[in-house]
Structure 1
């Protein structure tokens, strides 16, 4: 298995301005010049990691280091009956990658599998002292995580790390998980995980957001499976920004998937309870 990380998130919206204001003014991501009608943001050394656009589809970019690995995945996907779109030069330029293919998982989530996401020669400079280290992972809605698991594991090469009820955690490197699949009645991006320096920065962000009357539907808390400390903030169209730290490191060769009970303490061992987010209520 070749390790991969989350390169970017593209979110289609009819209200780019509202999302841009929240991502910049509330979360404190660095705004950078974008395409016409779009809003681009950075969270680390990469040229951009979050894009709001009026043109679809929404997608998650997953970066592999080896371009030949993309060809192997494309072959496996096609042999399994999945439709694969190969990005031409113009499409790669729009995504700021060297090479890429696009596929949808069985629930309908669009995935851009890419190689060579562009880095910036200018260091990441957030709009405020938020302690953000980078884009760490995403939570996706899934009609059936168990049905979708073979797509992610057998075709894309992710490891099953743990389950909590029907929630599935998937990883490719030593980080506990990069992708989480949550049972839902529709596909889409549920949450975007941004790593922050430590618990102190989680709490500083909490008070910053609370003072500005941002809804915080879950946390601060600690995830049972991964040990991840988290704080979720709700943006426009109920997009969740998850500020996280202390996500566990695992040995991929030795880790064995565990089954956590369908119990609220499996999502937060500290006792925090999600409010108003159906996918986070066990």
Structure 2
């Protein structure tokens, strides 16, 4: 592990314009399962141990990201994060409290980083019994990519406030590590602070490919992929959901420890015409690149 306080990514919460349409897509096409529901919210789970990995709330005409939820290693880690967030220039939105309004429960704190991104860190939330992965169904979230107009500042905040370390840096992204997954948060080098994409871990290569075919059959073409990334070594297929949120099926994410050596942009370069290790996929579509800059954090969490 690299972070003494953060064990991994638990869930992402979004505001969406149409909750019924979101449920149909994310259950029937994306293959998640309803864990809980209320009049204005839907909580969706994968086949893994997280109570839910995607929370959807009824919102306005455009999608927004409400918060990214991370899991703390201990109750004491929440206090350490709270103190470090303040030192690093963040703003505490909610002190440690019982999460009675969240179906997974636990104790959590909420804060914003200096650029207005909202994070929640929880401990003691409900977990499901571990079971074998189900082919063609997401297991859990493996990472979220957040754009930054000031990537060095964002990287420093994640390091100072949450104990992340830099795993690798390319010409377009900084990959931040907290545990065994190569990266849990990546920072997209951009001119804005939008949500770049959310990555769902699939059991295997077959599931990533079958998911691509199922999405295409449903009218959601592959926007980038199939391929294998450099940093993280993971398989990928990228899509855009019905509201414009970029989502990824991935598998075979590299597992690292303190012996892993970080590399810079000069190391992660492909031969001309390639955009991944395999070299069979065309570059990301213009539609995808535009969508990766359109979903912003809600201003009033």
| TM-score bracket for the superposition, by shorter chain length | 0.7 to 0.9
Partner of 2:199: 193
Paired positions, count: 278
1:49 correspondence with 2:53: yes
Q: Give the Å deviation of 1:81.
A: 3.4
Q: Which consecutive residues of structure 1, in runs of 5 or more, have no partner in the other structure?
A: none
Aligned to 1:146: 152
Matches within 5 A, 1:87-236: 87=95, 89=97, 91-94=99-102, 96-120=104-128, 129-236=135-242
CA–CA separation in structure 2 for the residues paired with 1:144 and 1:18: 35
The root-mean-square deviation of aligned C-alpha atoms, in Å, is 2.7
Pick aligned residue for 1:17 from 16, 20, 32: 20
Aligned partner of 1:77 in structure 2 is 85
Unmatched 5+ stretches in structure 2: 294-301
Contact 1:195 1:245 in 2 (8 A): yes
Matched residue SS, 1:96: coil
1:278 pairs with 2:289: yes
Deviations 1:90-147, CA, capped at 9 Å, x for gaps:
6454262321111122332211111122124697997xx5142222111112222222
Task: Tell me the TM-score normalized by structure 1.
Answer: 0.88
Q: Do the aligned partners of 1:61 and 1:111 also contact (CA within 8 Å) in 2?
A: yes
TM superposition shift of 1:11: 0.3
Asked if 1 retains the 8 angstrom alpha-carbon contact of 2:98 and 2:108, the reply is no
SS in 2 for 1:225: coil
Contact 2:98 2:106 in 1 (8 A): no
CA contact (8 A) 1:30 1:42 kept: yes
**Distance apart, 1:248 and its partner CA:** 0.9
Moved more, 34-43 or 10-19: 10-19
TM-score calculated relative to the size of structure 2: 0.83
Q: Structure 1 residue 256 and structure 2 residue 257: aligned?
A: no
Q: Which structure's residues are more often helix, by fraction? A: 1
Distance of 1:32 and 1:124 partners within structure 2: 18
